[in-house]
Structures are given as structure tokens and as C-alpha cells.
Amino acid sequence: MLVNILAPIFVFAVIVLIHEGGHFLMAKLTGMKVEEFAVGFGPKLGGIKRGETLYSLRAIPLGGFNRIAGMDSSDKNDDPRAFVNRPVWARLLVIAAGSVFNVLLAFFIFVFAFLYAGYQTFPDLPVVGGVLSGTSAEKQGIEKGDTILTVAGQKVDTWTDIGKITKTLDTRIVPVTVSHEGEEKTLTIMMTDGDNGRPLIGISPYLEHHDV
């Protein structure tokens, strides 16, 4: 789909633009002369000049760039505000600012995602949070929200108990008793192999969601 192509391009453009924004702000703060701050690359579509800086819009919307006076080592620039004539500490700050801004962007995205989505905890209850598609558990009718009461005739009090029981069994065909909407039923489940080779019923645990 088109969105699958455009989305990564948009994300890349934002990352580059934030990166260049870091260079721009630090150059301004350290007294350097920024001749142009461009959004995008390629032919210039237009721009507006504020003070000594031209803010331009380019034809290819992939990030942006700064044109700082004296940043090209081949430039012969006697302007004391040119990059090459500023103190070493100021030049280092300008160079590092782009990466710092990208780190800050990642941090704020993480914080926003955490605050928006909340977090989950594992209460270790014998409650089904999901059923693996195509497994015997799904075919036999185990559903999300069911409570596992027994596995192979052994009482289950926690989700951890399920793993302990299945690990000791020498058969892949297991009777599982569940409570579904208050009704108990015993199902015969053919266990499947997990990634580590251990037998699994084909269900995942219930996780509690917490808002921040």
C-alpha cells in the first residue's frame, strides 16, 4: 500500500529535520551566522528572510539542511561569527546538537507512548488472555476470559502452575477443565510444541492494563 511507502519516508524526513533543527538552534545560541535553514532538498520553491537567515522550502520533502557561514572548510571567511572563527567549544556544541536533538526526540516519543498506552502487569492468574490460532485449544473452544481450573486432573491456582504441570507430562493429549461464563467444562487438548521444544496448550495469560 502507498501508506507503507510514505510512512517510513515521512518518519525519516522528521528525524532529519529535527537533527538539522538542533544544529540550527545551537548555532544561533552560540552566536554563529546561519545564512539559511531549509526544509527539504533540491530546487527552492520559496522562502522568507527573517533577519540574516533565509527560511526556505525545497522541492524534495526529505528532511532539511543548514547553511552556516564558514562551515565549509574551503570558505575564506573573516566574519567573527562564521563557524570556522568561533571557539572550539562552540563548534563542538553545534556539531553535537543534531544527535542530541534526535535522542531527545526518541525520549519524548517513548514518554508519550508510555503515557498514552499505559502499561501491563502479569497478575499470575489462571485466566486466558488469548488463544493461539490454529491450535487444539482454539478448536476445542477455549476462549479469552476463560479460567483454567485443572490440567491433567491437577488443580490450577496460578498461571505458573499450568507450565509446571505440562512440563512433567509424558503425553501430548491433556484434559483441561475450564470455567466459561460460570459453566465448567472439560476439554481434551492436543498440546503443541513451543519455540523451546516445551509442550504448550496454546493459550496466553491474562495481563492487567494500567493507565498512567
| Catalytically active residues, by annotation | 20
**Please, what's the b/e burial string for 66-77 (b: 16 or more CB within 10 A of its CB; e: otherwise)?**
bebbbbeeeeee
User: If we measure between CA atoms, which residue out of 114, 82, 100, 88 comes closest to residue 22?
Assistant: 100
Residue type, 20: E
Q: Provide, for the chain, the percentages of residues in helix, strand and coil under a 3-state DSSP scheme, each rounded to the nearest 5.
A: 35, 35, 30
Q: Are 179 and 147 in contact (CB under 8 A)?
A: yes
The three cell numbers of residue 35 are 545564512
